[in-house]
Structure formats: C-alpha cells, structure tokens
Amino acid sequence: MKRREFITLLGGAAAWPLAARAQQRTRLPTIGVLGVSTSFNWSQWTAAFVERLGELGWSDGRNVAIEYRWADGRGERFTEIAAEFVRLNVDVIVTVGSAVVAAKQVTSTIPIVFAIAVDPVGTGIVASLARPGGNATGLSTQTTELAGKRVELLREVFPGLRTFAIIANVGYSGSVLEIAEVQSAARKVGLEVDVLGVQRAEDIAPAFKMRKDEAQALYVSPDALVNANHAFINRLALEARLPTLHPFRDYLEAGGLMSYGANNVDLFRRTGDFVDKILKGAKTADLPVEQPTKFELVINLKTAKALGLEIPPILLARADEVIE
C-alpha cells in the first residue's frame, strides 16, 4: 500500500469515532414532566402518556428525552422544578393545572401542556378554551362544573343528608373556585357545607379533628396536595366513618367510596397528542383546550361494606364500574 493511501486510511479511521461521538452528542428533543405529586401516584398516568408517544413514533432515549421531576405535593417545589427545566432548555413542559401558574411565571416561551386542569379559564391559565393564547394549553376536567352533579350523587347515597364536609387546598385557586360551586349547589338543596381548608400535608389530620361532628360525608377537591395524600385522607375518613366522594377513580383504590369525573389515564394519553404536535412545530396558542369525552361514575363496594352502607341498586346500575 502506498504511503499516501495508508495515511488517508488512518485519517478516515480516526474520523469515524469522532463522527460517532458527535452524533451521540446531538441533543434530542426534551420533554420535562413536572409531576406535582409522587411518581407512584402518577405511575399509571405517565405510563399512558409514554405509551401514546410511542404510538406516535416517539421513543425515550432514541428520538426524544423525557426528564421527570416530582414535587411530592409541595407547591413550593413547582417554581423550583420549572426553573430547572428552563435551565435544561426543555422543548415542552408537561404538568397539571396546579403547577401551570408557577411554570408560566418562570417561562413565557417554553410550551406548557397540562394533562389535567380544574378550570383553566377561571384560574387564569388560558384566555379561553378555543383560543388559549400564551404558552399553555391542554385538557380541562371542568371540575367546577361537576360540583352540582357530585352533590346530587351524595344525596342519592344518603337520602337523609343534611350536612357534609369538603376538604380542599385553599391555597390553590382551582380548589377555591370549586368550594364556591359546591357551596352554591348545596344551598340550592338545603344542605350545609363544612370547609376543611388545608395548605400543607401537616394540615390534613388537624382539619379532620376540627370538623363538625354532624358531617355525614366528605367531598374531596383535587389538587397536587390532595393527590399526594389521598390515601391518608381516605384512612382518616374511614376512621371517622365518613364516606368519601372523589373526583377521580384513581383515589378509590386507597379506600374511597365513590368517584365521578374524567378518566385521567385517558387524559394523559391525549396529552401525548398535544406534545407530538408541539414537537412537530405547532404553537400552543393555536391548540384549543380539549375537554373529557366522558365522565365516569365508579363505586367501591368494599368501602361501602366497611362503612355498613347500602348503595341504592339504581345507582349501582348506573355506575360505569363497581369495585368488589
């Protein structure tokens, strides 16, 4: 082999590893998942989100990177995690309504997709459902609009219902709106509402001790704090012989009695479609906020038996799922 050909061959061989390393260093589009609760509580939801991304051609570590951070129900962590995602220069942030305001305060340019939001218009997350504007869009559970229906469900289970308690994070605007809707719905049918306001995990047990003894049931308003502590809330409610009405089916496995609301697994799947569009160049301001296509009634008969409750047969017949 001629000397010149040998040197050229050596140069090419040396260049290949350099090219490979350069290719490895090519940055993948990055999704930052700001989990407001715990990884355990979100496991089914994030699995559905990742599964849908896979169906759309996105694979973590191959052509997209997913960074997970968990706030464990602590609202003060939302801003901290959002700021970290800004430093990482993620391409999109996925979270839920209770963290969107904090994320929007940190960045006005990185797209934010909320998989669940109680009332995105009422809480100021978006300008309107049809034209969200700004850098946030996603899926609304319309929880405040369901308050009246949930109060009616409580009355069906307890025909003699006179008063019930609602536990809610009074530091979250979405929960404050829901409290007002619940109180309004209760007044219309002559019911009293005892508000158990909490803002930290440490407030939950004392709130139960301070409640009025005559409360016959517990309405649970959703947010990050409640999500992270729903099993604890259910345990305290069972000890107090208080049947619980939840917004999500996910809370019933931990001893809740009944839920009425959207299917969160489905909402997180649909979040994958939003992220897919954004990674392909769509603007959040141009993606209308979507709503659930179905609301599900789920009843936990195991909890009913533990509480000595007889669920009306007509209500069981209407249930989308009965846990036995």
pLDDT tier, 214 (very low <50, low <70, confident <90, very high otherwise): confident
Q: What is the CATH number of the domain that holds 83?
A: 3.40.50.2300
Same domain, 118 and 249: no
The residues near 40 (Cβ < 8 Å, ≥ 6 apart) are none
Query: What b/e readout covers 20-33, taking b as 16+ CB neighbours within 10 angstroms?
Result: eeeeeeeeebbbbb
C-alpha distances (whole Å) from 43 to each of 47, 60, 101, 268 are 6, 16, 23, 11
162: containing domain: 143-261+295-323
pLDDT, residue 96, reads 96
Exposure on the CB side of residue 107, measured as CA atoms within 13 A: 26
d(C-alpha 64, C-alpha 139), whole Å = 22
Same domain, 155 and 246: yes
User: Quick check: is 152 in a domain?
Assistant: yes
Tokens for 255, please give them: 């001893």
pLDDT higher than 90, residue 119 = no
> Rounded to two decimals, what is the model's pTM?
0.84
**Contact between 289 and 266 (Cβ < 8 Å):** no
User: Quick check: is 222 in a domain?
Assistant: yes
Same domain, 48 and 156: no
Same domain, 243 and 153: yes
Domain count, the chain: 2
The per-residue pLDDT for range 123-151, each reduced to its tens digit, is 899 999 999 999 999 999 877 778 999 99
pLDDT, residue 7, reads 40
Conformational region of residue 255, where left means phi above 0, alpha means psi within -120 to 50, and beta covers everything else: left
The per-residue pLDDT for range 88-98, each reduced to its tens digit, is 999 999 999 88
pLDDT tier, 84 (very low <50, low <70, confident <90, very high otherwise): very high
User: Quick check: is 137 in a domain?
Assistant: yes
User: Quick check: is 21 in a domain?
Assistant: no
User: Quick check: is 13 in a domain?
Assistant: no
pLDDT tier, 211 (very low <50, low <70, confident <90, very high otherwise): confident
Same domain, 65 and 195: no
The per-residue pLDDT for range 152-210, each reduced to its tens digit, is 999 999 989 999 999 999 999 889 999 999 999 999 999 999 999 999 999 999 999 88
